[in-house]
Structure 1
Amino acid sequence: MTAATPVQAAGCALWRRVADGRAPGIEIALVHRPKYDDWSLPKGKQKHGETLRACAVREVREETGQECVLGTRLPTARYLASGRPKEVAYWAAEAVGGVFVPDDEVDRLLWLAPAEARGRLTQPRDRELLDALLDTLSTP
């Protein structure tokens, strides 16, 4: 692998259904990474021999404790990380259960309404992915 070869990673815009007593809606999962002191969507590097879909599911499980069902493929995020190109494949994913356990990599998990999640996300590229998720979920 050369310095110009993109690091491959995958993640999800993880959501769950909620009913708050007024109307049904959704919440979005955001993870806090203390190393970067940021709020992001769950994601991580692909392991050797692992498909991007399997990587996305594994990273959601590792970072949020949630099992998920992958849905629509979302746009791929492309950016520089530590001077190297990185490509992160994303999916919309519905959470179907699990328990969050904080660790050194992810110390907090928040479930927020879409507008709150949009305001909390650190990177603009994650806000674009949230918008893509919401477009996907609103399409009949």
Structure 2
Amino acid sequence: MKRAGDKSATTVRAAGVVLWRVSPYHGGIELALVHRPRYDDWSLPKGKVKRGEEFPAAALRETREETGLGCSLGAPLPTSRYLVDGRPKEVRYWAAEAWAGSFVPNDEVDRMIWLPPSAARRRLTHDRDRPLVDALLHALAG
């Protein structure tokens, strides 16, 4: 039963990744960003956790659904918390190395791009996503 003030009962739970690869062109790190036509934004792959699903499983599923790519989860990254239509949302993120698959546009995501971290940071629409780029680089260096 949901109780008034029970944050866990009303918080939208989501999971995502900062998807990276070694560039096939210059050997540096590149990050995948997705364009969501519904919001006309550039974002990191993420989505809602299904009932009974664990956060890591949701992160892997959403990454596959949005990018067509399989990946290996690495270090946990900071959790993002914000409001969506007045409702709290919590998104747990992981560093994730891409390893197989190919992007196919769909209703949810119509474009995907690979960018060096500095360009990815600039392209991200939401300020709340930018610190995740720094957290990924710190995790990879450490």
How far does residue 20 in structure 1 lie from its aligned partner after superposition?
Answer: 2.6
Equivalence for 1:6: 11
SS in 2 for 1:9: strand
Does 1:88 pair with 2:109? no
Q: CA-to-partner distance for each residue in 1:1-44, whole Å, 9 max, x for gaps?
A: 578521000000000012435xx211100000001000000000
Does 1:109 pair with 2:107? no
Equivalence for 1:15: 20
Q: CA-to-partner distance for each residue in 1:29-71, whole Å, 9 max, x for gaps?
A: 0000001000000000000110000000000000000000000
| Count of matched residue positions in the alignment of Structure 1 and Structure 2 | 137
Q: Which runs of 5+ in 2 are unaligned?
A: none
Does 1:42 pair with 2:45? yes
Q: Distance in 2 between matches of 1:51 and 1:19?
A: 33
Say what the alpha-carbon RMSD is for the aligned residues.
1.3
Q: Distance in 1 between matches of 2:25 and 2:102?
A: 21
SS in 1 for 2:23: strand
Counterpart AA for 1:8: R
Q: Distance in 1 between matches of 2:50 and 2:95?
A: 21
Q: Distance in 1 between matches of 2:24 and 2:66?
A: 25
SS in 1 for 2:128: helix
Runs of 4+ in 1 over 3 A off after TM superposition: 1-4
Equivalence for 2:67: 64
User: Map of 1:100-139 to 2, 5 A cutoff?
Assistant: 100-139=103-142
Q: Distance in 1 between matches of 2:101 and 2:128?
A: 27
How far does residue 83 in structure 1 lie from its aligned partner after superposition?
Answer: 1.2
Counterpart AA for 2:34: V
Does 1:73 pair with 2:107? no
